[in-house]
Amino acid sequence: MEFDSALEAAQCAIEIQRTLAKRNHDVTRDRRIELKIGIHIGDVVHRNGDVYGDGVNIASRIEALAGAGGICVSMDVERQIRNALEARFEKFGSADLKNIKLPMELFRIVLPWESGGKPARSEARASKKSQLPALAVTAVLIILALLVAGWWWIQRSNKNQQSVSAHAVPAAPTNAPDQKSVAVLPFVNLSDDKGSEYFSDGVSEELLTVLQKIPGMHVAARTSAFSFKGKNATAQEIGQKLGVAHLVEGSVRKSGDQVRIAARLTRADSGEELWSENYTRNLKDVFAVQTELAQTIVEQLRGRFAGADAGSTAKEKIQAEVQAAEKGGTKNVEAHQYYLQGRFFENRHSEKSAREALDAYEHALALDPGFALAWAGVAQTHLWFAAFSTEGGQKRFDAHLASARDAVARALSIEPNLPNGLLARATIETNFDFNWNAAAQTLSRALALAPADPNVVIAAGNLEIARGNVDRAIELYRKAVDLDPVSAQARTFLAFNLATTKRFAEAQAEFPRVVELNPAAPWAHAGLALSYLLQNKFEEAATEAQADAGEWCRLLIVSCARWGQRQVKESDAALAELIKNDAETAAYQIAEVYAYRGDKDKAFEWLERARRQHDPGLAGLRKDPFLASLHGDARWNAFLRTMGLADDQLKTSAR
């Protein structure tokens, strides 16, 4: 097809794929129709009812790389439409196209409903391409490959083997995954309203959360499962990266008061579909659909691979487990949608999105004050502000902490065994109240209720750090990474504590992964700088720290590194900036600098200020390498006692 503009061509291609995605949503796998689409700008020569030219050849080669259901465009097209099209582009890289000279830069248009294999490279060859001539008339070409010739044979032969284009299937992991392991991928939003994405995300996230609490189930964590959103990854790749044997995927189409949810369970090693179902319900019945989905998936996994009894007793047991996992919810449809919006924004981990999350949770509670999960969401959001926001200083910090306490109390008064509520309470007890004995009891309950929740496992690791048990903490952080391999938070805690215990090689291998996952995370760069600092590689430390998004991290490392280089003026300048900007929110880091410099009086002065300000950094003081110079001072144990540590706890030692 030919168009007068690149934008028209791209809009047509997207609409074609959108329409087919909706059509395929309602049919069985063996009756789906899928297209590959390639778009390029170039010369078109018409001759005897056919078309010729380099432009046509390039478009046809690009089409072959698009992947079923995908759209691939040349750099010339991407340059013209990047600011005019409401879609995201993903750089495909440079490809050598068959019979075309010189490699070309290609891009994919990322479609929110995509699933399946990555774009193929089977047409790429080592050959050359001549430069396109200057054209008097330019046409935009769309080349489509209709995957329907030999359709039933192709689809049926692929029923038991996921197509992976021209890529080799990744080697199986050394240890085969547990057959009761599963990842719930983000359900695709097929609603006409793009703003409904929070709803499709919420459906899959709530299903994941319920399955995570079922005894004997291993469920990939949300961060890891959602990392594949909008990406063309094969079932094998997802299964291998997440360490799971099965995938749950699906789509959601919401129209007015009606919602249609399609779900399927597949084998990760082959893509073979084990079970699928479509549910069309009134929106108010979405809760029943989610419950039914969870029960069916547990039944399928236990029935197929655990040799479980499929009788009524087994079904009743599964129903009871699912109902227990769903505690703390609401039956108010509108409140439920606001809650899903809150989760959607909370998971973005930014100050702007935290405000949006808080607003959504409060709307949910205005509609249903007995919505325990929404109260837990309010608590977690206020704790995020207390831990990471510097806006408003001490006054705002105190207000957020007080609001978090109130929300936790309300959540647990409604549902005492709510893991989210217990996690928020344990966070307050560990990081702000320094009541570590109480935190241990709270986390024990939370872990019993949600042993596979990586956030609960991280909290347990943080508590062990507070109590001085660093080796045990590192074990827990490793477990959190295993549960959630692409969680920047889990890897940051692991890498940071590997550095503080002088396991520098391991730490320096982990920090680049943190940067890759979330370069804006505090300590992503400063953590690597810390490992250099502790090895007296001062210039490397100062240089690496400059890239960190957390100002307090950067200034801490730079001040210490310059002090180590005996550049006192530069060290003083960084410390002065830290005190000027962050005295009310980074008192602990200021104490660390003074302790590193050997100024014990100032260090203890700022530690006491940090205690009064409930600075969460104090939870790590027991094994903090910056504070090592203070351990022989008589004031050290006295200060620890003010933190609530008894004499027997002061004897705790760990590497």
Q: Where are the alpha helices (DSSP H) in 29-187?
A: 54-65, 75-81, 151-157
| 249 and 185 within one domain | yes
| 256 DSSP β-pair partners | none
> What are the backbone dihedrals phi and psi of residue 639, each rounded to the nearest 5 degrees, phi first?
-70, -40
Q: Which residue type does 408 have? A: V
Report the SS3 class of residue 181: strand
Q: Please indicate, yes or no, whether residues 293 and 151 belong to a single structural domain of this protein.
A: no
Residues 6+ apart with CB under 8 A from 393: 584, 585
Other C-beta atoms closer than 10 Å to the C-beta of 90 total 13
Residues 188, 129: one domain?
Answer: no
User: What are φ and ψ of residue 105, in 5° steps?
Assistant: -85, 125
Token output for 247: 């995938």
Largest CA distance in the chain: 96
Residue 524 domain-assigned (yes or no): no
Listing DSSP states for 7-47 in one string gives HHHHHHHHHHHHHHHHHHHTS-GGG---EEEEEEEE--EEE
- Position 33 scores a pLDDT of 84
Domain endpoint, select from 141, 157, 173: 157
Task: Please give the residue range of the domain that contains residue 26.
Answer: 2-157
Residues of the chain with pLDDT under 70: 26-30, 43, 47-49, 51-54, 83-84, 86, 92-103, 112-176, 193-196, 198, 286-287, 303-314, 325-326, 347-350, 390, 645-655
Q: Are residues 205 and 89 in the same domain?
A: no
Q: pLDDT value at position 121? A: 36
User: How many alpha carbons fall within 13 Å on the CB side of residue 523?
Assistant: 21
Query: C-alpha distances in angstroms, 605 versus 571, 598, 624?
Result: 19, 13, 17
User: Looking at the structure, do residues 335 and 311 belong to the same domain, yes or no?
Assistant: no
Do residues 30 and 15 both lie within one domain?
yes
Residue 193 lies in a domain: yes
In the prediction, which pLDDT does 301 show?
Answer: 72
Q: Look at the chain and report how many structural domains it folds into.
A: 3
Q: Is residue 500 situated within a structural domain?
A: no
Is the same domain home to 322 and 332?
Answer: no
Domain final residue pick, 326, 352, 381 = 326
pLDDT the model gives residue 312: 54
Residue in this structure with the two tokens 């439920």, named with its chain if needed:
336
The verdict on 128 and 235 lying in the same domain is no
Strand partners, 71: 37
Q: What is the CATH number of the domain that holds 365?
A: 1.25.40.10
Of 294, 326, 358, the last residue of a domain is 326
Question: In 42-180, where does DSSP find H-type helix?
Answer: 54-65, 75-81, 151-157
User: Within 10 A of 120 (CB to CB), how many other CB atoms are there?
Assistant: 20
* Pair 209, 303 in one domain: yes
Q: Is residue 281 part of a domain?
A: yes
Same domain, 90 and 224: no
The three-state secondary structure class of 634 is helix
Give the domain CATH number at 205. 3.40.50.10070
The pLDDT score that the predictor gives to residue 654 is 34
- Asked if residue 35 is part of any domain, the answer here is yes
pLDDT of residue 48: 66
Measured distance between the N- and C-terminal CA atoms of the chain, rounded to whole angstroms: 68
Q: Are residues 30 and 145 in the same domain?
A: yes
CB burial readout 394-419, b (16+ within 10 A) else e: eebbeebbebbbebbebbbebbeebb
Determine the Cα–Cα distance for residues 233 and 114; give it in Å rounded to an integer: 10
271 with 306, same domain? yes
d(CA 117, CA 129): 28
Whether residue 121 is contained in a domain is answered as: yes
Q: Is residue 527 part of a domain?
A: no
d(CA 314, CA 127): 61
Question: Are 476 and 457 spatial neighbours (Cβ–Cβ below 8 Å)?
Answer: yes
Separation CA 640–CA 635 (nearest Å): 9
Has residue 268 been placed in a domain?
yes
CA gap 610, 33 in Å, rounded: 63
Q: Position of tokens 């590959």?
A: 36
pLDDT at residue 421, rounded to an integer: 95
